[in-house]
Structure 1
Amino acid sequence: MPDIFQISYDEALALCSRNEGDLFDHKAAKIEARKVEKIAVAFANSDGGEFVIGIADSKDEPDPAKRWQGAAAPESYNGILQALFNLNPAVDFRHEFLQADKMPGIAMRVYIDKCPNVAKASDGKVYQRVGAQSLPITDPDKITALSFAKGAASYEDTLLNLDPEEIVESREIAAFTRDLAPVTHPLAYCVNEGLVDRKTFAPSCAGVLLFSDRPQPMFPRRCAIKVIFYDTRQEAPEREHLKVNKTVEGPLYRQIHEAARLVTDIMSSISIMTPEGLQRVKYPPEAIWEILVNAVIHRDYSIADDIQIVIYQNRIEIRSPGRLPGFVTTENFLDVRYSRNSKIVRSLAKYKDAPNKDLGEGLNTAFEKMKEWKLKSPTLVEDGNYVLVTIPHTPLASPEELVMEYLQKHPEIKNKQAREITGIKSENQMKEVFYRLRDKGLIELIAGRKGNAAAWQLVPAPVENEASPPVA
């Protein structure tokens, strides 16, 4: 008789209420084995995930309290387990049986790891997880691309010569597992998620990064976040421009939140020239957050360097160790999805306030928010063995529009002010903008002002002649 894990009514209800998505699914106990294959293969071809058999779909049972509809005995799931064992290539999975207070029957929870090869169902079809769906991939080119991406090994799976207590007895994992539904013992969670070796219990790199209270001294590579502020717009700042240089350490979840807080604090001290005058610099917080999270979860942890967030007066640069993985390029990075560190992605997504809630949508969200704020889109380039994302504080409006908007609210504008507002670096290029506006009869040079004092103003509106009084 296999072991049955007893959970509380509230824990079962939480499972029944949990939304299906990139990393989780649930199906009724009477599901056909071939449909379970489809779910397992889709998870294996994506970032891995988990599903529970014995919980009815919300479309079939709207009331979460009535969705738990388990089987009479663990043996009822033998057909499903046999189908999973027979998959070729093999899919790495673990399973457990759940029985809940005041809930009927026994459910089975299955954990699926990301597969190193392209996983296929017994009928030869390939599936991939997209949101709450397991979608077929029929295009041979896309299957080839998936196969290519699968060939990239991840340093997160490397085992470290450390005691398992380094992560399973940490404060971080204790707080994390208390919020899981059902509540899970830290060691059981680490085994199920592949964060410790199942035979030796040696922790993996992913486990240490996620749940060690102090991963940096234990980890064989540098794995912190540096937050730097240069009080300048220059491309190559001088030493005297350096105002902040801090290193953020700790488990990944804490690193992300602390680095975001530091960036927010620094930005609150920066003032820039805008069409409204001198104002505090503002970026959409979602854009900075999503690009930061993306750097943490997709960087190459085999490279001995930290993530760098470098803040300037007019831009933020986030430099992440490692080139773009698999088939991801600087042209298609908004359209494809690939996780170098699938175990890190999965565990971070299970935090109560997950930093990566919308898997695969992070960078798209960042670009959309920049557009909503009428700022130019970020740029992403490969710079040597790094990925560099630059978030510019440059308005989408044309330079001419920005100059005219400024002059609607201020009596004059100088070349330096205009360059700060428009993001134009060259003094001569800025002059060309002024000349175009002058030639349209919109602005004029202020008489008698030369050199650094030279400034432009709006052309005064013509004054209409007053009507002549009537002749008596």
Structure 2
Amino acid sequence: MMHIIIKKLNSTEYEELLYSEESHFSDLKSADINPGKLSKTISAFANTSGGEIYVGIEESVSENGKIREWKGFVDLEAANPIFQVLQQLSPLNNNFIAEFLSSDKSLGYVLHLTILKTTDVVSATDGKAYVRRNAQSLPLYDEGALERLRYDKGIKSFEDELLNIDASEITNSSAIIEFLLEIVPTGEPEEWLSKQRVLLEGRPTVAGVLLFSDNPQSILAKRSAVKVLRYQTRQEAERDFLAFDPITIEGNLYNLIYDAVDKVKEIIEGIEKIGPSGLEKITYPEEALHEILTNAVLHRDYNVVSDVQVRIFDNRVEIESPGRLPGHVTVENIAKTQFARNPKIVRLINKFRNPPNKDVGEGVNTAFEAMGKLRLKKPIIEERDSSVVVTLKHESLASPEQIVMDYLKTSEEITNFIARDLTGIKSENSMKQVFYKLRDRGQLEQSPKVPGKKPAWRKPAAKENS
């Protein structure tokens, strides 16, 4: 057996493991589990977002609920059958990390496996591929579901699918003629498109239509536009809060990206929030909006029948891109790794003058840096069942205490409502705790109560001019 590290848990770590919840990213198994059955969980984690398995934790149900017990392997060799299965699960290869856990509080060793997301589809020993959904490992029974997984992982790209439409849709469009006149003046549309492999057997591919058709949305309906929605709320998206009917941005990918960024920027600049000088216009760095929207359009899964959505709230912008993260990309490593689900689209749009993806592969990092320059929090990236959502929040990197004190440099007092708006804190009670902390430091005091006026806080009289 390979050399494996043995890690000794302290009392706190031991208790945390025993009472940890099984989830989309974590599973607990008995040391008596059949290795073949365990391979289903391994397959599910490898095919989805990766995860951790603890082998050697028993669970039973009593009148008082679930009971967990540490019942590890008697020695390291007892886990050999599991390692044999791990070696058999091609193409898992070395996409896992293993260590043994021990504790003075219990006998035996718990095997801790960290399964990494793989580029290829990993099947269990029963020949089926599994995916992780919440705390379950679910089998993919038919070829359609397996095909969906291939698209999810980026093994297969919908950009190469041939479409049953006339070649003139992209050989005689304004988009291709303008592009060639600017970039390849001596190029002939049909010859150039064929060389780029977006015109095959006299038929356009999905990539060809998205890039060079004058109206891709008429051919690839409900999967090639950007929908912009404005909700006048900080809460969840509900139709009652829509400020106006959703706006649909259309056009070839080059125009689509620039037009969508312009429209989103225009709507955001019409939003005001409370600031130290009264109502101020909200500003997000245009680079962040541009890069996140560019990524959402270029790296989305075009096999998913859904448009990119931009949801603009009073305190945040959510950009939802159809399809899960491709290949080995995860939420944790997205800023450090590269994987193009649609390599032809990414390569060819970079040939346009002033391409939207100027620094290929650097989009997420550019967005992070742009938010940081304005002292705003980094974008939040969330992977859902069939999409990726990036949220840009208008929340300062400064502490809530600092934000309150900065506001009081130009205002006599501050209410709980104003402070929550400034800091992004949702709970009224949590905001009170910030006020109490500042009061205890002698930096704040409650303003005298005035009938009909909301309670407020101010700087103590002796510190008003400090």
Q: TM-score range by the shorter chain?
A: 0.5 to 0.7
Mapped partners of 2:441, 2:231: distance in 1: 39
What's 1:156 paired with? 159
Query: What are the within-5 Å matches in structure 2 for residues 176-187 of structure 1?
Result: 176-181=179-184, 183-187=186-190
Rg bigger for which structure?
1
Cα distance change, pair 329–281 in 1 and its aligned pair in 2 (3 A) = same
Say if 2:180 is the partner of 1:173: no
What's 2:383 paired with? 382
Mapped partners of 2:426, 2:357: distance in 1: 36
CA contact (8 A) 2:120 2:155 kept: no
CA contact (8 A) 2:119 2:155 kept: no
What's 2:213 paired with? 212
What's 1:441 paired with? 442
What's 2:257 paired with? 256
Mapped partners of 2:285, 2:395: distance in 1: 13
> SS of the counterpart of 2:187?
coil
- Structure 1 residue 234, shift from structure 2 partner: 1.3
Query: What are the within-5 Å matches in structure 2 for residues 6-25 of structure 1?
Result: none
> SS of the counterpart of 2:248?
strand
CA contact (8 A) 2:160 2:207 kept: yes
CA contact (8 A) 2:229 2:242 kept: no
Cα distance change, pair 451–378 in 1 and its aligned pair in 2 (3 A) = farther
User: Cα deviation per residue 1:398-437 (whole Å; 9 max; x = unaligned)?
Assistant: 0000000000110110000000000000000000000000
> SS of the counterpart of 1:179?
helix
Cα distance change, pair 319–443 in 1 and its aligned pair in 2 (3 A) = same
The one-letter code matched in structure 2 to 1:343 is K
- Structure 1 residue 455, shift from structure 2 partner: 0.5
The one-letter code matched in structure 2 to 1:314 is N
User: Cα deviation per residue 1:118-177 (whole Å; 9 max; x = unaligned)?
Assistant: xxxxxxxxxxxxxxxxxxxxxxxxxx9677799711000000011111001000111111
Mapped partners of 1:228, 1:360: distance in 2: 28
RMSD between superposed Cα atoms in Å? 2.2
Q: Percent identity?
A: 45
CA contact (8 A) 1:221 1:302 kept: no
Mapped partners of 1:427, 1:463: distance in 2: 25
Query: What are the within-5 Å matches in structure 2 for residues 391-402 of structure 1?
Result: 391-402=392-403
CA contact (8 A) 1:275 1:403 kept: no
- Structure 1 residue 243, shift from structure 2 partner: 2.7
Cα distance change, pair 230–210 in 1 and its aligned pair in 2 (3 A) = same
CA contact (8 A) 2:377 2:397 kept: yes
What's 2:145 paired with? none
What's 1:283 paired with? 284
- How many residue pairs get aligned? The number is 320
User: Cα deviation per residue 1:433-465 (whole Å; 9 max; x = unaligned)?
Assistant: 00000000011101124786111111122799x
Mapped partners of 1:158, 1:405: distance in 2: 56
TM-score by length of 1: 0.65
- Structure 1 residue 238, shift from structure 2 partner: 4.9
What's 2:104 paired with? none
> SS of the counterpart of 2:204?
coil
TM-score by length of 2: 0.66
Mapped partners of 2:341, 2:156: distance in 1: 8
Query: What are the within-5 Å matches in structure 2 for residues 194-213 of structure 1?
Result: 194-197=197-200, 200-213=201-214
Mapped partners of 1:427, 1:261: distance in 2: 36
Give unpaired runs (5+ residues) of structure 2.
Answer: 1-116, 122-149
Mapped partners of 1:286, 1:222: distance in 2: 25
Say if 2:293 is the partner of 1:292: yes
User: Cα deviation per residue 1:65-109 (whole Å; 9 max; x = unaligned)?
Assistant: xxxxxxxxxxxxxxxxxxxxxxxxxxxxxxxxxxxxxxxxxxxxx
The one-letter code matched in structure 2 to 1:162 is I
Mapped partners of 1:234, 1:220: distance in 2: 30
> SS of the counterpart of 2:396?
coil
Give unpaired runs (5+ residues) of structure 1.
Answer: 1-143, 465-472
